[in-house]
Structure 1
């Protein structure tokens, strides 16, 4: 997020009494702390954004973090605070507030809440002796949460209206539940090898349902595009090509997030259940399975979304003609544009 975007997306707040101009050599807080041109840098960045400990911050801490970031965007800092304290404020701000709107993301749908929120759903989905009705209920809950996460963390430069979002929700949940439940029931009627039945089919169902969810819930970005800017943060217009690229990357990251969560716990539990103790006490496998899923979720999410930068920088040659042969405010040719792909 550029300084201009930070200032535009947040309301003015009163500066602290100790506010002072930003000194030379102070870190650029409008940019991520870690190099976004490398996978390791992006991984470190998203480990901070998905850190569940940020959920424990009080309202006062969050308001203070936002105030510090707004003041920084206005060109002043509190000289009584250390650089590390400013990075802490930046971490809280980035994990809590939407970069396009400056508004707080509802807590259960923040990326830092992805693991805790999904663990509650997974616990419900793993309950024994489920009927078709309960299976369908948990699929509905799961896909509804996916819709909320996709919508809450989407690019908001071209947001859906309430009627559009409601219609998209209905279609996305219906499609996702039909895909997930239909494929699972199809597999149950066939004598498939255990690895296929326990890993490949669930993974395929989750991948297809999750991808459909992303594209349906953010379909406006496909139809009308998302806002692209020059490298100074000046808006250039809406690009459908950028919208397609953004959604494809988000959908792929959802698939990559699901893979370890389905493969690793299943592989470990299938080995444990062969042991005499667990054969006699199968219920003891439930907490182990949940712990493995939690660990997989915690590690897979940042690893998956770090595959692509949140703010993509692309050559104008790859976009529509209207973005080519443009010049910036200084009269220099614009060769690349930037956009927020969302999470």
Structure 2
């Protein structure tokens, strides 16, 4: 089991633990760390002892864990290029290479989202909706629609894991097989987190501004709403990134009863582990 997965196995048992660590891992300064610094940190962690909780009391080792978690792929052990490291996370993710089927799905997702995003505005202007409750409903629609798109985007990008499965490990970190059931669970969990993260950042500002536009201040300063919406989106998204990353453990678990027979036939383990991904 990779060092990063060992860390989450020890330190990812509660939401509070995960949230505290994600705040550290998302430090933007980690983007600029060199390959040599990352390799030095990994070497230090190999000699820091088996008790990860105790090792975090040492400031130097704690910094090494932060750098490793932010910069190293826990599946392959490879160092991630700076622009793709977790502190540089962006809600819009463009894969470098896609099979033709995924390209087709992605194109469909773009057309689908563009049509649905314009639909509420079309209804309001075309039908001249006057009801405040209906206006609020239509203005809030982009949030759920965007959330649905983000979840669909994750499903498309990780379609190969749904079809082929992902590696599962026993309690000692030994790989015992590739499970399609674990792959489905990992992808669905990640899609749900992504939907909540982006959907919340889009929905809440629209609802707040719907009521704010009726106030005296808004009427006197009509441009204020546009600037305020941008600030709210950035602020809420900045908060939702560590919250949704912490919501479901990075090192996922799946029970024996849910694993394929060919995997459980070779082991007596009752619980298996997998890397959920982001």
TM-score normalised by the shorter chain: which range applies? 0.7 to 0.9
> Where does residue 293 of structure 1 map in the other structure?
233
**CA distance, structure 2, for counterparts of residue 147 and residue 168 of structure 1:** 15
Please list, as runs of the form range in 1=range in 2, the aligned pairs for 1:210-249 lying within 5 A after superposition: 210-249=150-189
Structure 1 pair 308/285, CA: closer, same or farther in 2 (3 Å)? Answer: same
C-alpha distance in 1 between matches for 2:208 and 2:119 = 25
Q: What's 1:173 paired with?
A: 106
Q: Please, what TM-score do these two structures have when normalized by structure 1?
A: 0.68
- The equivalences for 1:1-343 within 5 A come to 2=1, 5-6=2-3, 30-32=6-8, 35-55=11-31, 57-59=32-34, 63-73=36-46, 75=47, 83-114=58-89, 117-118=90-91, 145-148=92-95, 162=97, 165-191=98-124, 193-199=134-140, 201-327=141-267, 333-343=268-278
Q: 2:117 & 2:48 partners in 1: Cα distance?
A: 56
Q: Quick check: 2:45–2:64 contact (8 Å CA) kept in 1?
A: no
Counterparts in 2 of 1:171 and 1:204: CA distance versus 1, 3 Å: farther
Q: 1:172 to 1:283 in 2, by over 3 A?
A: farther
Structure 1 runs, 4 residues or longer, greater than 4 Å off: none
Distance 1:99 1:233, change over 3 A: same
- Post-superposition shift, 1:34? 6.9
Question: Separation in 1 of the partners of 2:257 and 2:27?
Answer: 37
RMSD: 2.8
What is the aligned length? Answer: 264
Q: Whole-Å Cα distance in 1 between the matches of residues 15 and 48 of structure 2?
A: 32
What is the DSSP-based 3-state SS (H/G/I as helix, E as strand, rest coil) of the residue aligned with 1:237?
Answer: strand
By how many angstroms is 1:318 displaced?
A: 1.2
Deviations 1:14-56 (A, max 9, x none): xxxxxxxxxxxxxxx942497322221222232233333433x
Structure 1, unpaired ranges of 5+ = 10-28, 119-144, 152-161, 328-332
Q: Which has the higher contact order (CA 8 A, sep 6+)?
A: 2
Query: Taking structure 1 as reference, are residues 287 and 168 closer, same or farther at Cα in structure 2, changes over 3 Å only?
Result: farther
Q: Residues of 2 paired with 1:220 and 1:32: CA distance?
A: 25
